[in-house]
Structure 1
Amino acid sequence: MSDPCPAPARRPDDHRLRELMAEVAVGDHDAYRLVYRSVAGQVFGLVRRILRDPAQSEEVAQEVMLQVWQAAARYRPERGEVVAWVLTMAHHRAVDRVRQAQASAEREARAAAHQHTTAFDEVAEKVQDSLERERVRHCLKALTEVQRQSLTLAYYRGLTYQQVAELQHAPLSTTKTRIRDGLIRLRDCLGVGS
């Protein structure tokens, strides 16, 4: 990602980032530049680990940073740190991109298969969906209990990392590590991006 702004001497602490987000919410471009400099590298790193493709990662990271500008008024400090909020958006956007790519590949495969068959086979599609759900269940079972619980709370219940950490009575860094490691194991088990 190209950044026309030089790097700051040091990253603002979370209190300062919260103040900057309030300024971004009312359209302050200078505040946005500081937020951008503070989080863009982490956003790109997270997205890159999920997508693995540098060009797509850069594109998704830019989309996330645009979303930060557009959604700044929706940031709620009481729900977590600015960096966690931004990285959650980045994670969701990157996972959406993976899902879109998978869905596109599956659509193309189904279209190619459909050219060879004369009738649409709804039963076969239901069986395929059921097999995919079973595959995800199988891969979730391969995770440790704390990884599975952390992922379930974060992605099925929609809790922030901070909320997951509080529910599990664990440090935030431990919770983030559990979720990251769980996602990596899940991705590898499912063969995503291989």
Structure 2
Amino acid sequence: MSLIGYARVSTTDQSADTQVERLKAAGCDIIRQEQVSGRSREGRTELETILDFIRPGDTLVVVKLDRLGRSTRDVLNLVHELDQKGASLRILEPDISTAGPLGRMVLTVLGMVAEMELGFIKERQAAGIAKAKAKGVYRGRPVSLDHSQIRTLRSQGLGATAIAKQLGCSRGAIYKAMSAE
């Protein structure tokens, strides 16, 4: 029976060092870490590796529930997969284990709270952007394509695909620039 730690950060300016230290202190024999969004399981190769190799009696350990996932459905699916393999999940903060029915219930509630918290963060972010726009402070992302160059190439008879290849961008970006005019 092994304790397998999983540490995840979302962005390049974050570090998983603190999580790794906590997982080591909790007695994890193996620790996998990655830098990828927790919004979904896509691209989370280290987590998939753990799920592929976890054995009956093993425990997946994470520092906080949001390191495992932001979606209640994803977290519950992970718990179900672990359960099907005879393994369990342990969260260090707050200390919860899915080894029993009470732990599963608490985990479900915490998953819903984490998902709700993400919704609140998005609402606050949207409100802040709207307020900044109203003050004229926020103008969005700076234009990265030269719209006059796109118009010139278009007037020369080039299509969106040819323009995109020449400018080194996507066709979608060309269509968007052309529709903005």
Calculate the TM-score normalised by the size of structure 1. Answer: 0.26
Pick the structure with more helix per residue: 1
Pick the structure with more strand per residue: 2
Calculate the TM-score normalised by the size of structure 2. Answer: 0.27
When Rg is computed on C-alpha atoms for both structures, the one with the higher figure is 2
